[in-house]
C-alpha cells in the first residue's frame, strides 16, 4: 500500500489605501490530498489514518499528531483536513509521517510552502508597525529609490512552470492608459527596460509582450524626444544566426503584420535596418515570403505631388555609397515589387555602384518587372532617367555570347503607354535616353516589334525636333528585308493621306550627281563636279539627255580624269583634291542638256569594309527565313522567331510568363485606385 500525497496553499494579500483589513486570522488546519494504492491498484473503502509531525526526516522528537478514523477513499483518491494546532510551524523544516490502518508509509514527506506559511501569523510587526498599520501607511503611488549598483527591485522565481514570473504587474482598470509595469531610466546611456535571456539554448526571449486586444500591441516602444538619435525600441542579437528583432503573426488569414513600425517625423524612418559589419554577406533589411503570391519586401508610398526629384515619396528607397541600393533576387517569383499611389514604387539611388540590381535565377523569370495597370493615358511600364552629362536613362545589356538575346525588353498595356520610356534631360553632353547593348553574335542591342497584322504600326520609331538632327541614325550599315521609302503628308489631302516614294536599289554602292548645262556656240559645255568628288568616288558612268530638240551627235567628249580620281583617293583631311570635270560636245549651240553621273562609293568606310552582294547565312540564322510565310513555312522557321515574343491570337501582345502568373494586384493595404495614377508627360 502506498500514498502519493499532494499539498496546496493559496495566500491572498489585499491592500487598499482607504479601507481596513479583515481582523479574522487564518486557521491552523491545512488540506492534505493523496492517492492510496493497494496491491498496485487504486484503493476503495474506509481507512484509519494517523498523521505525525517531526523536525527531521527520520527519528527525532514527535512535535504533534492527529488520528483521522474512517477516511473515505474512492478510486484511490482522498482529501482530509489536518490540524496540528498553533506553535508547531515556526519557519523551520518539517516532515510528515503517515500510517494507514497500522501500516506506516515511508519515507516521511517533507512539508514545503503551504503549512510553513502559517508562521506568518507570528509576523505581527512590519517596520515597527502591526500589519494593518503598515499596509495603510504604504504611499500610493509607491516610489522606491536607492543607490545600489545592481538592483533596487529584484524578483526571482525558480519554478519551471510556464506562467511563473520573477516580477508580475497587473493594471485591472478597464479603460485609460494604464501600465501593468512601467520602468524609466534618466541616464544618457540607460535602458527603461532591459530584458536578458541567459540560457545558451532553446527558444528564449529577452522580452516578450502579449496583448489580447483586437487592436492592441504586444510591445509598444515610444521615443518622444523631438531630436537626437532616439529609438522607440532597440534590439540586438549576438548570435551568429540570431535575430535582433523577430516578429511573427501566426494567423493563417487576415491583414496581419509580423512587425509594424511607424515614424511620424518629417524626416524619419518607419523601418531603419543597418548592417554595420565591414565585410560579409550582410543585409540592412532582409525580407522573405514563402507564399506563391507573396512578396519578400513590399513598400508603398502615399500620395505626393512632386515626384520629379529626390523629395518624392518612394515605396522603397535604396541608397548605396559603394554597392547595391536595392538587390532583389527572385528564385521563382518577384525579387522586388513596389507600389506607389503617386510616387515611386521602388526608388534606388547609389553614389558609387549599382543603385538597383535584381537577379532572377529561375527559367522564364524576370529580374526587373515594371507594370502599370492604367488602361489609358501616358502610362509607363518602366521610366528611366539620367541627369548626367554622360549618363543613360536606361542601360540594358545582354551578355550571353550566343542566342537570340535582348538588351532591353519591356512593354505597356496602356492604349498610349510606353513599353520603355527613357529620358536624358540634361541640356548638354553626350546623353542617351535609351541605350541597348547585346554582346551576342546574333543578338540585338535594341529590338522593336509591332505585332499587329494591320494598321500603321512601327517596330521602332524615332523622332528629332532639331532641323539638323536625326530621327533614326546608324553609325554602321543599315539594312531592310522590305522596301525603303520616305513618307510625307499628301499635298492634295495632307490631313487624310500619305505620299510614299521608294528608294532605288542596286547590287553596287552608288552615288549619283545630276544637273543641267547650257551649250556654248560650239555646242559644248564643261561640267565641274563637287570639290570632294575625287575623295569618295571611282569608276564614273554618264548619261546625257537633249532638251528641246534631238541632238544625234551629243556625247561625252572628255571623261573625268583618272589621275584626278587616284589623287583624290590618297588625299588626307585638309588636303585639297583635284577638281573633277567632264566635257560635253556634239550638241546644238545654246541648247540645254540634262546630265547625270553615277560613280561607285570609294570613301574610307567602303574601302575598309567589304560590300558583299551574296552572303551565306551563319550560325543560328542558317536554315531559317526572314519571312517564312512567303515560302509556305511555319513561323517557327523564322530567323527571329521567339515563342515569348510571337504575336498571340489576342488583340494585344502577350505579357511575359511572370506577368501572366501574377499581375501586381492591389495588396491588402493598397487602395486599388493607386494604380490609376497618371503617367509622366514628356
Give the mean pLDDT of 266-290: 80
User: Phi/psi zone of residue 238: left (φ > 0), alpha (ψ -120 to 50 degrees), beta?
Assistant: alpha
Give the mean pLDDT of 10-32: 52
Distance, in Å, from the CA atom of 120 to the CA atom of 123, rounded to the nearest integer, reads: 5
Domain termination residue (choose one: 608, 643, 665): 608
Pick the more confident residue, 392 or 311: 392
Pick the more confident residue, 360 or 457: 457
Most confident segment among 149-153, 257-261, 401-405, 557-561: 557-561
Domain termination residue (choose one: 90, 107, 136): 136
Evaluate whether residue 314 is within a structural domain: no
* Number of alpha carbons in the 13 Å side-chain half-sphere of residue 613: 5
Q: What is residue 517's predicted lDDT score, i.e. its pLDDT?
A: 97
Confirm if 291 and 272 have CB atoms less than 8 A apart.
no
Distance, in Å, from the CA atom of 436 to the CA atom of 449, rounded to the nearest integer, reads: 15
Helix or strand (DSSP H, E) at 4 = strand 2-7
Structure-block grid coordinates of residue 297 = 519586401
Q: What DSSP string runs through 94-132?
A: EEEEEEETTEEEEEEEEE-HHHHGGGGGG---BTTB-HH
Distance, in Å, from the CA atom of 317 to the CA atom of 337, rounded to the nearest integer, reads: 12
Q: What is residue 388's predicted lDDT score, i.e. its pLDDT?
A: 79
pLDDT band at 646 (very low <50, low <70, confident <90, very high): low
Who's near 288: CB < 8 A, 6+ residues apart? Answer: 296
Distance, in Å, from the CA atom of 158 to the CA atom of 166, rounded to the nearest integer, reads: 8
Beta strands of 361-466 (E only): which ranges?
383-386, 392-398, 421-424, 432-438
Helix or strand (DSSP H, E) at 660 = helix 657-661
Residue 407 has pLDDT above 80, yes or no: no
Evaluate whether residue 460 is within a structural domain: no
Give the mean pLDDT of 172-199: 80
Q: What is residue 662's predicted lDDT score, i.e. its pLDDT?
A: 40
Confirm if 537 and 598 have CB atoms less than 8 A apart.
no
Q: What is residue 546's predicted lDDT score, i.e. its pLDDT?
A: 97
Question: Minimal CA–CA distance to 534: which of 600, 583, 594?
Answer: 600
Q: Cα dihedral angle (460, 465, 470, 471), rounded to 10 degrees?
A: 10
Cell 539594312 sits on residue: 479
Q: Which domain holds residue 536?
A: 510-608
* pLDDT, tens digit, 9 for 90 and up, residues 454-466: 887 888 888 887 8
Residue 24 has pLDDT above 90, yes or no: no
Confirm if 459 and 482 have CB atoms less than 8 A apart.
no
Give the mean pLDDT of 102-124: 68
CATH code, domain with 110: 2.60.40.380
Domain termination residue (choose one: 608, 638, 670): 608
How far is Cα of residue 250 from the mean position of the Cα atoms in its chain?
Answer: 23
Pick the more confident residue, 581 or 259: 581
Total number of domains constituting the chain? 2
User: Phi/psi zone of residue 539: left (φ > 0), alpha (ψ -120 to 50 degrees), beta?
Assistant: left
Pick the more confident residue, 515 or 156: 515
- Per the document, the length of the chain is 682
How far is Cα of residue 130 from the mean position of the Cα atoms in its chain?
Answer: 67
Structure-block grid coordinates of residue 363 = 527559367
Evaluate whether residue 591 is within a structural domain: yes
Evaluate whether residue 72 is within a structural domain: yes
Residue 374 has pLDDT above 90, yes or no: no
Pick the more confident residue, 419 or 608: 608
Question: Minimal CA–CA distance to 329: which of 273, 381, 370, 286?
Answer: 286
Q: What is residue 657's predicted lDDT score, i.e. its pLDDT?
A: 41
Evaluate whether residue 641 is within a structural domain: no
Cell 573625268 sits on residue: 560
How far is Cα of residue 488 from the mean position of the Cα atoms in its chain?
Answer: 48
Distance, in Å, from the CA atom of 100 to the CA atom of 71, rounded to the nearest integer, reads: 10
* pLDDT, tens digit, 9 for 90 and up, residues 488-506: 899 999 999 999 998 888 9
Give the mean pLDDT of 222-250: 76
Evaluate whether residue 529 is within a structural domain: yes
Evaluate whether residue 439 is within a structural domain: no
Who's near 191: CB < 8 A, 6+ residues apart? Answer: 185
Evaluate whether residue 27 is within a structural domain: yes
Confirm if 568 and 578 have CB atoms less than 8 A apart.
yes
Amino acid at each position: 500500500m502506498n500514498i502519493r500525497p499532494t499539498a496546496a496553499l493559496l495566500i491572498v494579500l489585499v491592500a487598499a489605501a482607504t479601507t481596513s483589513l479583515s481582523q479574522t486570522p487564518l486557521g491552523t488546519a491545512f488540506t492534505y490530498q493523496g492517492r492510496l494504492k493497494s496491491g498496485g491498484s487504486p484503493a476503495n473503502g474506509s481507512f484509519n489514518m494517523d498523521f505525525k509531525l517531526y523536525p527531521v526526516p527520520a527519528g527525532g522528537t514527535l512535535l504533534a499528531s492527529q488520528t483521522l478514523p474512517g477516511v473515505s477513499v474512492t478510486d484511490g483518491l482522498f482529501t482530509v483536513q489536518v490540524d496540528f494546532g498553533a506553535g508547531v510551524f515556526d519557519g523551520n523544516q518539517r516532515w510528515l509521517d503517515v500510517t494507514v490502518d497500522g501500516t506506516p508509509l515511508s519515507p516521511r514527506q517533507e512539508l514545503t510552502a503551504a503549512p510553513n506559511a502559517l508562521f506568518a501569523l507570528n509576523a505581527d510587526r512590519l517596520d515597527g508597525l502591526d500589519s494593518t498599520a503598515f499596509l495603510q501607511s504604504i504611499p500610493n503611488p509607491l516610489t522606491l529609490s536607492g543607490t545600489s549598483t545592481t538592483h533596487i527591485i529584484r524578483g526571482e522565481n525558480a519554478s519551471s512552470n510556464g506562467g511563473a514570473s520573477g516580477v508580475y504587474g497587473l493594471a485591472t482598470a478597464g479603460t485609460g492608459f494604464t501600465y501593468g509595469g512601467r520602468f524609466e531610466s534618466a541616464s544618457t546611456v540607460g535602458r527603461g527596460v532591459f530584458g536578458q535571456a541567459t540560457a545558451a539554448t532553446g527558444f528564449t526571449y529577452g522580452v516578450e509582450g502579449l496583448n489580447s486586444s483586437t487592436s492592441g500591441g504586444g510591445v509598444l516602444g515610444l521615443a518622444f524626444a523631438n531630436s537626437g538619435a532616439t529609438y522607440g525600441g532597440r534590439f540586438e542579437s549576438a548570435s551568429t544566426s540570431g535575430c535582433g528583432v523577430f516578429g511573427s503573426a501566426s494567423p493563417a488569414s487576415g491583414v496581419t503584420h509580423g512587425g509594424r513600425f511607424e515614424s511620424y517625423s518629417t524626416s524619419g524612418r518607419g523601418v531603419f535596418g543597418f548592417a554595420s559589419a565591414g565585410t560579409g554577406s550582410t543585409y540592412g533589411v532582409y525580407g522573405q515570403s514563402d507564399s506563391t503570391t507573396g512578396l519578400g519586401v513590399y513598400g508603398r508610398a502615399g500620395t505626393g505631388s512632386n515626384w520629379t526629384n529626390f523629395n518624392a515619396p518612394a515605396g522603397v528607397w535604396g541608397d548605396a555609397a559603394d554597392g547595391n541600393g536595392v538587390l532583389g533576387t527572385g528564385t521563382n517569383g518577384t525579387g522586388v515589387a513596389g507600389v506607389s499611389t503617386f510616387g515611386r514604387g521602388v526608388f534606388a539611388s547609389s553614389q558609387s555602384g549599382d543603385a538597383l540590381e535584381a537577379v532572377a535565377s529561375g527559367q522564364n523569370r524576370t529580374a526587373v518587372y515594371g507594370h502599370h495597370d492604367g488602361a489609358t493615358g501616358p502610362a509607363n511600364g518602366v521610366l528611366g532617367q539620367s541627369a548626367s552629362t554622360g549618363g543613360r536613362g536606361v542601360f540594358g545589356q545582354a551578355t550571353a555570347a550566343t542566342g537570340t538575346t535582348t538588351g532591353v525588353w519591356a512593354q505597356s498595356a496602356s492604349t498610349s503607354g510606353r513599353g520603355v520610356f527613357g529620358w536624358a534631360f540634361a541640356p548638354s553632353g553626350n546623353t542617351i535616353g535609351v541605350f541597348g547593348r547585346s554582346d551576342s553574335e546574333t543578338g540585338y542591342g535594341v529590338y522593336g516589334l509591332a505585332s499587329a497584322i494591320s494598321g500603321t504600326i512601327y517596330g521602332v520609331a524615332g523622332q528629332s525636333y532639331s532641323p539638323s538632327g536625326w530621327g533614326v541614325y546608324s553609325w554602321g550599315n543599315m539594312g531592310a528585308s522590305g522596301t525603303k521609302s520616305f513618307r510625307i503628308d499628301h499635298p492634295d489631302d495632307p490631313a487624310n493621306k500619305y505620299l510614299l516614294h521608294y528608294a532605288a536599289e542596286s547590287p553596287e554602292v552608288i552615288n549619283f550627281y545630276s544637273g543641267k548645262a547650257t551649250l556654248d556656240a560650239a555646242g559644248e559645255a564643261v561640267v565641274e563636279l563637287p570639290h570632294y568628288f575625287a575623295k569618295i568616288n571611282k569608276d564614273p558612268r554618264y548619261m546625257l539627255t537633249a532638251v528641246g530638240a534631238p541632238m544625234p551627235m551629243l556625247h561625252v567628249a572628255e571623261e573625268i580624269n583618272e589621275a584626278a580620281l587616284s589623287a583624290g583617293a590618297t588625299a588626307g583631311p585638309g588636303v585639297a583634291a583635284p577638281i573633277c570635270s567632264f566635257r560635253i560636245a556634239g550638241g546644238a549651240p545654246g541648247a540645254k542638256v540634262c546630265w547625270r553621273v553615277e560613280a561607285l562609293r570609294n570613301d574610307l568606310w567602303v574601302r575598309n569594309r567589304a560590300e558583299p552582294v551574296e552572303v551565306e547565312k551563319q550560325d543560328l540564322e542558317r536554315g531559317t527565313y526572314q519571312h517564312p510565310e512567303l515560302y509556305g513555312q511555319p513561323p517557327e522557321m523564322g530567323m527571329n522567331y521567339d515563342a515569348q515574343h510571337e504575336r498571340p491570337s489576342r488583340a494585344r501582345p502577350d505579357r511575359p510568363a511572370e506577368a501572366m502568373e501574377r499581375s501586381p494586384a492591389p495588396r491588402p493595404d493598397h487602395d486599388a485606385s493607386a494604380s490609376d495614377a497618371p503617367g509622366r508627360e514628356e
